[in-house]
Structure 1
Amino acid sequence: MVKVDKPTQRLPKQQLLILAVCRFAEPVAMTSVYPYLPEMIQSFHVPNDKVARWAGLMSAVFSLSQCLTGIAWGRASDRFGRKPIILLALTCTMVSSVLFGFSKNLVWAFITRSLQGLSNGNVGIIRTAVAELVPQRELQPLAFSIMPLVWNIGSIFGPSFGGSLVHPVERYPRIFGNFKLLENYPFALPNLLISLLFLCGISAGFLFLRETLEEKKSRRDYGLLVGKLVIAPCTRKKPRARAYSTDESDPFLRGTSSEMSSPIVGSEIKPPKQTPGWSQVFSRQSNINLAVYTLLAMHSVAFDQLLPIFMHYPVQSIPDPDVHLPLKFAGGFGIDSNRIGLLFTVYGVFGMLVQFFIFPTFARRFGVLNCLKACTVIFPMVYIATPFTALLPTDSSRQGVMMVLMLIKGFCGIFAFPCSTILLTNSAASLKVLGTLNGVATSVSAIGRATGPALAGGTFTAGVDIGYLIIPWWTLALVGAIGAIPVWSLVEMEGFSSGQDDEDEEGEEDLEDEDDAKATGVPSTAAHSRHSSTAACSDDVFVDDETPPESAGLSRATSRTSLGVPRRHSLHLHRVASPIGMGPGIVPAGARRYSSDLGATRSGLGAGGTSYY
């Protein structure tokens, strides 16, 4: 018996990079709206004191619309495959974003913003694709940190991109002075240029993204064929030599065997396909994870949206008669949007660095669940301390302490969301329901993202009216404390790689060859040789010298799992080729013949067979 060492697990970097390219345009499009949204609403002849209200409602409409279609996008990806649904969602988001830029009234803006939410279904689908690409728990922290990293990068560029390109005719008359269209639609240019990013993502996904849904991998993918033709002049990949198995137990013709020979791996009959039910989606651990994820989105997003309003609110002096420390005060920082933007830029860059360099190491060392528990405990403490920064005496001290609190909160947020995503992914009953589960997560978290800012804004207004600015922040602290309770009922489950320890993983290049063979219908030499060697190894059944032939046959039958895959035993035997008709000296005395693959062998010695002694 030849012992085969398990290859080192590798991250599918190319496919994750393609998913990142597909994902990048969405955060840029979503966050580019923030700088000019109040100005756009003012252009619709809305009074200044009503702008904040309509801006909040427009954000809520986006999240609520996303909630309505999150499950539908997930179910569609489970049925039709991840790749086509990702490309469709990207196309719909691109079109609705362009239409939003051409808004001329409040009704049109609300309709197109709602369409953006309805078509924004890639959050859960891409998360599902990452889970299917990387089922190994050891690699999940790094893999699941890539998409949040892309979102953070897009969130840094999006606001500056959108804020600098509105009113292009007035700001850049030499370049856009003759464009009448941009003069009539001053908010269209950012969305038109962002559509180019969408086209890049759609093109990359169509040409190079491989299907990750197991049931659809064998479908012919014409996009991959075109992608191979596109990159063929730029690559010099050496052709692989065809490898043959030298095992005498292999039949001469692939896929055939005699009645007494061992079943060939890969020839077993697959059970009929069963559509998973909702009971598999909503398991106990999945339900707890959904509750944790929703409450996390609720208070975390509300904090980020309330913070600029708090920092822009006028300063209240301590000697003011309406101030009664330590709880009754209603002042902010009184700083302008440029300073607030600088603080949030530092906040975003810090989050990006933590996401990529710190989170994977910490999650592997301390465990995903332990990191999530620690973060949920810290969140309420940060929220409780935030309003008291307004009582510091100088601008530099207020902004400095606030920056520290923002970085702590950002650190916890960077850890909490990927950890929650990993736990939710591993709680799925099977990969068949993972797309639906992530669609449900997108929908319920959208409810949290809609209600959180609305709750924070309403309590902020009420707190300012009665002189207690601590009310909105302590409300968020209460929500954070409630969200921390179900975390302690979570269990860090094994995920989908626990049953794959005996599978052969030859590295990223061989996996790509095999996927190409499935998607394009062209046989892969490497995959064929790997299948042959696997079949040869799996045909060995080891019994001791004293086992009678009848027992050997029984052992052979019972050593196979319900799926027809052999289970390797630890008992050792020597195996020799025993062609029919060969006399003493070739086959050792006492050898028992357990295989009779009749037909010519590759050595040309007549009918084949295998004996063990």
Structure 2
Amino acid sequence: MAKQKVKLTFHEQMSGFPWAQILVIICVRIAEPIAFTSLFPYVYFMVKDFGIAETEAEIAKYSGYLSSIFAFCQFLTAYNWGKFADKYGRKPTLMIGLTGSALSLLVLGFSKNYYWAFFARGLMGLLNGNVAVIRTVIGEIATERKHQALAFSTMPLIFQTGAVIGPMIGGYLSGTHTRFEFLKPLVKSYPYALPNLVIASLLILSNAICIFFLEETHYTLKYRRDYFVEVGDFIRKTVFGITPKERAWNSTSSEEQTTVNVPDEETLLIDEGASDHNTYTGEQTEDEAGDDASIQSVGRVLTRRESIALVRTFSLHEADDKPQDEGWRVLLTPHVFYAVVCNFIMSLHLVVHDEFLPVYLANDIARDKEGKLVSSFPFHLVGGLNFTSQDTGALLSSTGLFGIFVILVVFPYVDRNFDSLPIYRTLIKIFPITYSAIPYIILLGDHHTIAIFVAYLFTTFKTLATSISFPQILMIIHSSAPESHRAMINGATISISALARCAGPLVWGYIFSWAQAYEVAWVAWWSLSALALIAIYQSRFLRETPEEAKPVVVASSSESEEIQE
């Protein structure tokens, strides 16, 4: 891995990090991955209880349908939710998504047959475009390059946290048994209602945090008065003793509410020969000299990255923005297109792994009449390890805890010391190796403790690769997108990824069912490994983000020349 040109200490990297709003985003987002992962421990048993699968091998197929309908509906609507967020704001879109998720969970929990569960998962996909919007919000909160990787790493951090809590809730609260007497009538009639009721309550709490504490980040709508945030500021001050910052709509000058005078990026004058301590030397006009909001009032020497961050924060349009009605064409530019394709492939094989590993392990151990394992190395593989929903919940939760450790401890060090592309290209090589080895776990059916250890080991490797490589793709996509089209591009990215998450369980549901029926379970996992190898090849076409490679204009008293960042 190639080291970065400028190494930062952890203190330097975290200086000025927007903790307050990032924590609000975490609270807003956390309930949704809990809802998504809570289904995994009991989906096998739910489909089996519904009686729609004629054989055990078909359970994987119908489980795949539940995942596919969610992703397909998300594919249909995520792009439009992104456009909605660009027009009406990020915050209203998030509020609608949280409400839709809570409603769909209630329908799922009280489903009496497979078709109601199918409808509930589709409803969740239709009413929720929050992943794309939250990606956009994070990028608009963290405007400095040194903060962006850590800010975007909160996405897998939130997911890993949800991967800890969700399977625990789904695994331990589902079923017809409970130690609370007053809940027994409920769980006997609706075995899967209790976990969904708990998670729906978490979504309602997340929505309340969103309403009162999340600030709008849309580049123009953030100046619109938000009465709910004012209530949140009152709560901060009276309950927590935190003095809230002055809001733009409370400024005494209406001009200050809508405009900030900053020079164009091309006219940033940087002292020739400097690298990271460049002084802005432009002459002030009479209007600029009297405007407290101008860059000249900063009162200290600005680094080049700080200057660019100020321009991109306060300018309504970047120089390379295209008209709004042609925004979709930005997706076809090479640096955006290849990043989106890599995100598509990663989404495809990750969702297949996450969806079918619990189903694969939950299958009964295949034995012959003498009690010996039917499976044999290398190609005769059938059955599973007879995992219960509690076993699966513990497995997914523990590896989720490891993912949190990676993101909080390992990722900051890696991001400070290595470039993004080498990190991504190195870590994704773990996926095909892990997928190729997973089907052979069932050969340890006679050694249950060792089998559990190996299952934990494989999921740990997969979690390590996901936790570090995934934020790099998010950051590249965001940095490649013009400001006025970021929500739209993130929405399109989610739509394309949703298409992957729709096609993956649908196609591999048939593959897994066929592989179990013909006792060649390795076919399903090796085909997934082949898909991960395609992702490794595709990563060759990625390049560093445009913001890192973009030339900056340098001017002296006599001439200007371009230098590379």
TM-score, structure 2 as length reference:
0.75
- Larger deviation: 384-393 or 416-425? 384-393
Q: Deviations over 1:262-314 (max 9, x none)?
A: 33256999989952522124321111111111111111221233323443442
- Cα deviation for residue 39 of structure 1 reads 4.3
The residue identity in structure 2 corresponding to 1:128 is T
Relative distance call for 1:261 and 1:478 in structure 2 (3 A) is closer
Indicate if the aligned counterparts of 2:152 and 2:471 stay in contact, CA closer than 8 A. yes
Indicate if the aligned counterparts of 1:101 and 1:185 stay in contact, CA closer than 8 A. yes
2:445 corresponds to 1:437? no
Indicate if the aligned counterparts of 2:108 and 2:121 stay in contact, CA closer than 8 A. yes
> What does 1:93-132 align with in structure 2 at a 5 Å threshold?
93-132=101-140
Give distance in 2, aligned partners of 1:439 and 1:134.
Answer: 19
> What does 1:4-403 align with in structure 2 at a 5 Å threshold?
9-46=15-52, 49=55, 51-166=59-174, 171-172=178-179, 174-176=181-183, 184-234=189-239, 236=241, 262-264=286-288, 274-275=323-324, 277=326, 278-313=328-363, 314=365, 327-331=378-382, 334-337=385-388, 338-391=390-443, 394-403=447-456
- Cα deviation for residue 237 of structure 1 reads 6.0
Indicate if the aligned counterparts of 1:316 and 1:331 stay in contact, CA closer than 8 A. no
Q: Deviations over 1:134-164 (max 9, x none)?
A: 1322222221122221222222222222343
SS in structure 1 at match of 2:215: coil
Match of 1:599 in 2: none
The residue identity in structure 1 corresponding to 2:19 is K
Match of 1:493 in 2: 545
**Runs of 5+ unmatched residues, structure 2:** 1-11, 247-259, 262-283, 296-313, 561-565
Q: Deviations over 1:303-353 (max 9, x none)?
A: 233323443442569x9998775x422145534324444333332221221
Give distance in 1, aligned partners of 2:229 and 2:126.
Answer: 29
Relative distance call for 1:77 and 1:501 in structure 2 (3 A) is farther
Matching residue within 512, 521, 530 for 1:478 = 530
- Cα deviation for residue 69 of structure 1 reads 0.7
Relative distance call for 1:236 and 1:320 in structure 2 (3 A) is closer
Give distance in 2, aligned partners of 1:491 and 1:81.
Answer: 31
Q: Deviations over 1:465-490 (max 9, x none)?
A: 44433211211111111111121111
The residue identity in structure 2 corresponding to 1:453 is P
The residue identity in structure 1 corresponding to 2:498 is A
Which of the pair has the greater relative contact order for Cα pairs under 8 Å at 6+ separation? 2
Q: Deviations over 1:551-591 (max 9, x none)?
A: xxxx9xx99xxxxxxxxxxxxxxxxxxxxxxxxxxxxxxxx
Give distance in 1, aligned partners of 2:171 and 2:49.
Answer: 15
- Cα deviation for residue 186 of structure 1 reads 4.7
Give distance in 2, aligned partners of 1:271 and 1:409.
Answer: 41
2:409 corresponds to 1:404? no
Give distance in 1, aligned partners of 2:529 and 2:42.
Answer: 30
Give distance in 2, aligned partners of 1:389 and 1:192.
Answer: 35
Indicate if the aligned counterparts of 1:292 and 1:483 stay in contact, CA closer than 8 A. yes
How many residues align? The count is 482
Indicate if the aligned counterparts of 1:302 and 1:453 stay in contact, CA closer than 8 A. yes
User: Over aligned residue pairs, what C-alpha RMSD do you find?
Assistant: 3.8
Give distance in 2, aligned partners of 1:413 and 1:122.
Answer: 20
Give distance in 2, aligned partners of 1:240 and 1:192.
Answer: 37
Q: Deviations over 1:50-87 (max 9, x none)?
A: 54433221221111111111101111111111111111
Q: Deviations over 1:484-516 (max 9, x none)?
A: 1121111111449989999xxxxxxxxxxxxxx
- Cα deviation for residue 48 of structure 1 reads 5.5
Q: Deviations over 1:217-264 (max 9, x none)?
A: 1111111111122233235567999xxxxxxxxxxxx99xxxx96332
- Larger deviation: 33-42 or 12-21? 33-42
Give distance in 2, aligned partners of 1:16 and 1:463.
Answer: 44
Indicate if the aligned counterparts of 2:163 and 2:396 stay in contact, CA closer than 8 A. no
Give distance in 1, aligned partners of 2:533 and 2:556.
Answer: 58
Indicate if the aligned counterparts of 1:60 and 1:451 stay in contact, CA closer than 8 A. yes
Indicate if the aligned counterparts of 1:58 and 1:110 stay in contact, CA closer than 8 A. yes
Give distance in 2, aligned partners of 1:124 and 1:479.
Answer: 24
Give distance in 1, aligned partners of 2:243 and 2:353.
Answer: 54
SS in structure 1 at match of 2:146: coil
Give distance in 2, aligned partners of 1:45 and 1:369.
Answer: 47
Q: Deviations over 1:376-405 (max 9, x none)?
A: 222212222333444468444444344323
Identity fraction in percent: 29
Indicate if the aligned counterparts of 2:13 and 2:146 stay in contact, CA closer than 8 A. no
The residue identity in structure 2 corresponding to 1:81 is G
TM-score, structure 1 as length reference:
0.70
Give distance in 2, aligned partners of 1:275 and 1:114.
Answer: 30
Indicate if the aligned counterparts of 1:333 and 1:398 stay in contact, CA closer than 8 A. no
Q: Deviations over 1:406-432 (max 9, x none)?
A: 22122111122212111111121x111
Give distance in 2, aligned partners of 1:263 and 1:165.
Answer: 65
**Runs of 5+ unmatched residues, structure 1:** 1-5, 242-253, 503-540, 544-554, 560-613
Match of 1:587 in 2: none
The residue identity in structure 2 corresponding to 1:426 is S
Indicate if the aligned counterparts of 1:124 and 1:438 stay in contact, CA closer than 8 A. yes
Indicate if the aligned counterparts of 2:41 and 2:358 stay in contact, CA closer than 8 A. no
Match of 1:460 in 2: 512
Relative distance call for 1:270 and 1:341 in structure 2 (3 A) is closer
Give distance in 2, aligned partners of 1:186 and 1:122.
Answer: 29
Indicate if the aligned counterparts of 2:53 and 2:62 stay in contact, CA closer than 8 A. no
Give distance in 2, aligned partners of 1:237 and 1:190.
Answer: 35
SS in structure 2 at match of 1:416: helix
Indicate if the aligned counterparts of 2:340 and 2:493 stay in contact, CA closer than 8 A. yes
Indicate if the aligned counterparts of 1:281 and 1:433 stay in contact, CA closer than 8 A. no
Task: Identify the structure with the greater helix proportion.
Answer: 2
Relative distance call for 1:9 and 1:378 in structure 2 (3 A) is same
Q: Deviations over 1:519-556 (max 9, x none)?
A: xxxxxxxxxxxxxxxxxxxxxx998xxxxxxxxxxx9x
Match of 1:424 in 2: 477
Give distance in 2, aligned partners of 1:167 and 1:65.
Answer: 28
